[in-house]
Chain A
Amino acid sequence: MVGIVIVSHSAKVAEGIYDLVMQMASENDHIIPAGGLEDGSIGTDAFKIQEAIESADTGDGVAVLADLGSGIMSAEMAIEMLDEDIVVRIADAPILEGAVSAAVTSTSGASLDEVIEAAEEARTASKLS
C-alpha cells in the first residue's frame, strides 16, 4: 500500500490532518504526520520528513502532502537525502483535502501515480456545488 507523509509547519496541523484522514483510511497504517520542529516550534524539518518517508514506505512508494512553500522545500531536501531506494512524489495539492483523497485512494490498493492524481484532483474540487 502506498505510504503517505503529511508535512506541515505545525505539528498540530499535521497530527490533526492525520486524525481526520484516519477516520476514513484506517486500513492504511503507513500514513505519518511530520509537522513542526523537534523542540515543538513552528517550522519544517527535512530530517524529520526523511524519517517519516522511510517509515511510510512499504515498497509501493510514498506520497507527500505539504503545506506552505518551505514545507515543499524541506520535503524536496528530505527526498534528496534518502539513502534507500524509495519512490516518492510530492502532490501539488491543498494539504487537507489532498491528504484525504490520497489516503482514501491508497486504501483501494491504488498505485503511487493514482494516489497523487487523486490528491491533485482536490485542487479543483468545488466545495459549494
Chain B
Amino acid sequence: MASKIYQCIETIGNRIIEQKEFLTELDREIGDADHGINMARGFTEVLAVLPKDSDNIGEVLKKTGMTLLSKVGGASGPLYGTAYMQAGKVLAGKTSLSPEDGKAVFEAVIAGIQKRGKAVKGEKTMLDAIIPAYEAYTAALDGGAPAGDALDAMCKAAEEGVEFTKTIIATKGRASYLGDRSIGHQDPGATSATYTLECIRDFVKSI
C-alpha cells in the first residue's frame, strides 16, 4: 500500500492536474497562460517518479521539490520546488507528523519562497494565500484549537487571501507588466497554493 506521504502528494497532484485548465485561464488574464499547464506537467512527473511505499517524509518531499524544479519551467518551478525542498529539510527523517511540525514547515516554506521570489505579502503572489494561512493555523493551535479546526482556519484564510489578490496590483512576475490592469483578477499562484493547503487539510482529516 502506498505510504501516507505519497497519498498526500497524490491528492495534491491530482487536484492540480484536474484544475489545469482553470489555473491556466487565470494566468492567461494576467500572465503568460502557462501556470496550470506547467504545474500539471510537474505533478504528472512527480507522481511517476515518487517511490509509492516510502514513508520517509523528508525524502519524499525533497524528491517532489527536485522534480518540480526541473519539470515545471515557469516561476512556479523554483518557487514550489523551494517550498517542497524546504519542507523536506524540516521533516528530514520523520515518518509521522504533529500539528507543531506543520508550523515549522510553514515557517521554512515561507522563508524559502520569500528568499527565492524576493516578494512580501501584498504583491499579488502565492504568499498572499500562504502567509495568512500560516497565521490562522498558528493562532488556532496556540489558542488550543484541535488540529482539524486549525486546518479549517488555515484554508479559510488562504481562500480569503486569494480573494484579496483580486483587489491589488501585481508588482512581481509577469503580471507586473500589466500594472493597474491586474486588478480584478485573482492570482494563479495564490490559487494553486490554496488548492495545496486544502488537499493537505482534506487528506489529514481523512486519516
Partners in one complex: yes
A residues apposed to B, CB below 8 Å? 9, 37-38, 41-48, 68-70, 73-74, 76-77
Q: Does B69 lie within 8 Å of A69, measured CB to CB?
A: no
Tell me, rounded to whole Å, the shortest Cβ–Cβ distance linking A12 to chain B.
15
Of the A-B pairs whose beta carbons lie under 8 Å apart in the complex, a sample of 13, sorted by A's number, is: A41-B41, A43-B34, A43-B72, A43-B74, A44-B73, A44-B77, A46-B70, A70-B75, A70-B76, A70-B77, A70-B78, A76-B78, A77-B116
CA distance A41 to B34 in the complex (A): 11
CB neighbours (8 Å) of A41 from chain B are: 41, 73
Identify whether the interface residues of B are mostly helix, strand, loop, or mixed. Answer: helix
Binary contact readout B53-95 vs A (1 if CB under 8 angstroms, 0 otherwise): 0000000000000000111111111110110000000000000
Q: Is the CB of A70 within 8 A of B74?
A: yes
Q: Report how far A118 CA is from B77 CA in the complex, Å.
A: 30
B117 at the interface (CB under 8 A from A): yes
Contact status of A46 and B81, CB under 8 A, knowing A70-B74, A73-B116, A77-B116: yes
Q: How far is the CB of B27 from chain A (nearest CB, A)?
A: 13
B70 in complex: contacting residue of A42, A47, A68, A76, CB < 8 Å: A47
User: What is the interface of chain B, defined by CB distance below 8 A to chain A?
Assistant: 34, 38, 41, 69-79, 81-82, 116-117, 172-174
Given the complex of chains A and B, what is the CA–CA distance between A17 and B166 in angstroms? 38
Question: A38 and B74: CB pair below 8 A?
Answer: no
Contact B174 A37 (CB under 8 A): no
**Top-9 shortest CB links A-B:** A43-B73, A70-B75, A73-B78, A47-B70, A37-B73, A77-B78, A46-B69, A45-B70, A74-B78
Q: Are B78 and A37 closer than 8 Å at their CB atoms?
A: no
Known: A68-B174, A76-B116, A77-B116. A42 touches B73 (CB 8 A): yes
